[in-house]
Amino acid sequence: MAQYELNLRDYWRIMRKKKSIVIFTTLMLGFFSFFFASLSKPTPIYEATASVKIEQSSTVSGLYLQTISWSPWNNMATQVVIIRSFPVMEKVARRLGYLPEGISREEIRNRSEYLAVVLGLKEKVKAAQEEDTNIINITATSTNPKEAQRLANTVAEVYKEENMLEKNRRIINARDFIEGQLKVIGEKLRNAEEAVRSFREKNKFVSLDTKTSAVLRELTVAETDYNRVKTQLESIALMLTQLKRDQALPEKTTQRIFLENPTSTFASLNRQLVDLNLQKAELLTTYTENHPKVLQVKQKIENVIQSMIEELLAQQKVLKRKEQALKAKVETLEGQYLSIPASALELARLERRVDQYRALYSQLEQKHQEVLIQMAEKVEEVSIVHPALEPTAPINPPKTRATTAIGLFIGLILGVVLAFVAETFDTSVGAIEDIEEILNLPVIGVIPYATSEDIKKQFLRDLPLKLTEEEMDRDANLVVHFAPKSTVAESYRALRTNLQFLVLEKGAKAISVTSSSGKEGKTTVAVNLALVLAQMGKKVLLVDSDLRRPIISRLFGLHSRPGLSNVIIGEVEWRDAVRTTSDLITGRMSMEEVMFTPGI
């Protein structure tokens, strides 16, 4: 019995046979993958990053400010929060033109559409410290690449300006105060000098004696010190009132208290108060007044204010003792001063006033020069080390190509599986084993399929005879005779050998070649089987039993009459209907064609 095993060729045959299933499944899954990937394609989002570097100041004023105003909140994490704080985002929105010009901060906080703009910008901006460095990366996202670049750069610039303004605010306040005082004291000094000049011209009085001058100078210095201490006490009293009011109702969010010559402890508390108020303002943009986080920050503010009040009270106590000592000294010197003659006393009084204003004006000028030097140094801790560039590609690129490729790959695998499933459920006979199992008969030969075009190409390549197109069409069915070395002819010879074994076993003399339907090649098999039997010396009678479409006579170039039907109805004897080799030679086939292969 013939054996049949599946190999790679059989798998390839199944793939070719079911290729429509594989191609359809692959294309459909690829199309649906592309379609759904296109529908779910995200809106492109672009990201731009600007980097700022935060350094400790190396200038004299900067080091001084850091010494007196350092706090535990002054670190990189605090700066990250400040970058995304509401005041910074508000200025960014103004600079980018997202808010109307001239609108107040209160109106922005009270109107939802303006508040939404600022909070929307805050959501688009992220700030993070770069590992363990002093560099902060400011990242802005937007659906527009140019807007992302502008937003990142604007946030970096606004933060730099705010930081510089915050560090130099005390110096600026001191400059404004000193310049105002210089104008007032300068005018009073000119008036006092003019009064001294007028008194001397009127009374013909030139100068005081040595003792009077000494008393006058000492009294002037004492009164100047007394007035300075008194001014400091008034400032502290005003500051205490302000702190107690804010402690009861802390409404100002970015308040900074200015005090001339503050102690390092007070300056540190002052800085903590500013930072806590900034944190509270940031929390109030998201939470209500009664939120636990807001209440916690309020409690910290109250504690800091209480510590500042205690520090001011201690400083006030020291200044009051100093004020009492200076007051007693001034009273003693004034007693000595009253013993001076009236004209000399008046001149001394005028000159003392001039000396007081001159000393105060000189002191203010010195302070003014110091402030100008500090302003020239410009405490600047933040620098932009890497401005944002316009992004060229979104951070969420569409995955249409990848999804389509995956869909095609899955479709190919599924198509192959479906092809083999379809082949499994295919009930048609397609293998030798199926035939043997169904018919319970052995398969004695397999004739490969070859089209007439393939055989004609082999004729043109190997056949020495010059045949016309019509002759090649006719002789293509006689492949054993005209192409005896071909694979097809060899398969007929293998069939002949298997038949001989069966003939020996059963003693058969007649072989019938039939099929279930027409045009399946039974005539071609019968003709070529007869030829291979004749080529080995057997006497063969080839009978064309196809009464509807007999074609054997045409293949050998013979007339169709008399035929089998004439023998059946008794018109001729069967011997008279038999054709021999001589009939082939006298027919349409030439001598060269008949004698091309021995044995016919």
Give per-residue pLDDT as tens, 58-115: 444 444 444 434 443 446 888 888 888 888 898 999 998 888 888 888 888 888 888 8
Radius of gyration of the chain (CA): 58
Q: Which residue has the tokens 């070719």?
A: 16
Sign of torsion, CA 34 35 36 39? positive
Of residues 44 and 371, the one with the higher pLDDT is: 44
- Are residues 55 and 200 located together in one domain of the fold? yes
Give the number of C-alpha atoms closer than 13 A to the C-alpha of residue 502, restricted to the C-beta side: 16
- Would you place residue 409 in the very low, low, confident or very high pLDDT band (cuts 50, 70, 90)? very high
The mean per-residue pLDDT over the stretch 131-160 comes to 91
Q: Which of 339, 366, 386 is the C-terminal boundary of a domain?
A: 339
Residue 56 has pLDDT above 80, yes or no: no
Residue 25 lies in a domain: no
Residue 566 has pLDDT above 80, yes or no: no
Residue 437 lies in a domain: no
CA distance 459 to 453: 10
- Are residues 59 and 162 located together in one domain of the fold? yes
Residue 309 has pLDDT above 70, yes or no: yes
pLDDT confidence of residue 203: 66
The DSSP H or E segment spanning 126 is strand 125-129
DSSP state of 177: H
Dihedral of CA atoms 207, 210, 215, 219 in degrees, nearest 10, equals 50
Of residues 552 and 331, the one with the higher pLDDT is: 331
Of residues 438 and 430, the one with the higher pLDDT is: 438
The DSSP H or E segment spanning 383 is strand 382-386
pLDDT confidence of residue 1: 39
pLDDT confidence of residue 4: 47
- Are residues 168 and 183 located together in one domain of the fold? yes
DSSP string, 14-81: HHHHTHHHHHHHHHHHHHHHHHHHHHTPPPP-EEEEEEEEE----SHHHHHHHHHH--TT-SHHHHHH
The mean per-residue pLDDT over the stretch 540-569 comes to 73
Task: Give the number of domains in the chain.
Answer: 3
CATH number of the domain bearing residue 182: 3.30.1890
CA distance 493 to 38: 62
Of residues 196 and 408, the one with the higher pLDDT is: 408
The DSSP H or E segment spanning 142 is strand 135-142
- Are residues 175 and 314 located together in one domain of the fold? no
Q: Which of 294, 311, 339 is the C-terminal boundary of a domain?
A: 339
Q: Which of 292, 314, 339 is the C-terminal boundary of a domain?
A: 339
- Are residues 118 and 80 located together in one domain of the fold? yes
For 326, the domain range is: 209-339
- Are residues 161 and 225 located together in one domain of the fold? no
The DSSP H or E segment spanning 140 is strand 135-142
Residue 81 lies in a domain: yes
Least confident of 269-283, 427-441, 508-522: 427-441
Question: What stretches of 249-399 show up as alpha helix (H) in DSSP?
Answer: 264-284, 292-338, 342-377
Maximum average pLDDT range among 160-174, 177-191, 555-569: 177-191
Residue 263 lies in a domain: yes
| Neighbour-count burial for 18-42, b at 16+ CB within 10 Å, e otherwise | beebbeebbeebbeebbeebeeeee
pLDDT confidence of residue 156: 92
Q: In this prediction, what percent of the chain has a pLDDT beyond 70?
A: 73
Of residues 274 and 190, the one with the higher pLDDT is: 190
pTM score, whole prediction: 0.45
pLDDT confidence of residue 510: 80
Of residues 388 and 472, the one with the higher pLDDT is: 388
CA distance 357 to 362: 8
Residue 144 lies in a domain: yes
Question: 89 and 138 in contact (C-beta within 8 Å)?
Answer: no
pLDDT tens per residue, range 435-447? 777 777 777 777 7
Residue 496 has pLDDT above 60, yes or no: yes
- C-alpha 123: how far from its chain's center? 16
- Are residues 180 and 231 located together in one domain of the fold? no
- Are residues 161 and 296 located together in one domain of the fold? no
Question: 246 and 252 in contact (C-beta within 8 Å)?
Answer: yes
Residue 405 lies in a domain: no
Average pLDDT of the residues of the chain: 76
The closest of 435, 436, 444, 539 to 499, measured between CA atoms, is: 444
- Are residues 194 and 108 located together in one domain of the fold? yes
- Are residues 189 and 215 located together in one domain of the fold? no
Residue 385 three-state SS? strand
- Would you place residue 10 in the very low, low, confident or very high pLDDT band (cuts 50, 70, 90)? confident
CA distance 407 to 195: 102
- Are residues 190 and 245 located together in one domain of the fold? no
Least confident of 186-190, 258-262, 493-497, 518-522: 258-262
CATH number of the domain bearing residue 487: 3.40.50.300
- Are residues 85 and 163 located together in one domain of the fold? yes
Residue 360 lies in a domain: no
pLDDT confidence of residue 153: 93
- What distance, in Å, lies between the first and last C-alpha atoms of the chain? 31
- C-alpha 29: how far from its chain's center? 28
Residue 34 lies in a domain: no
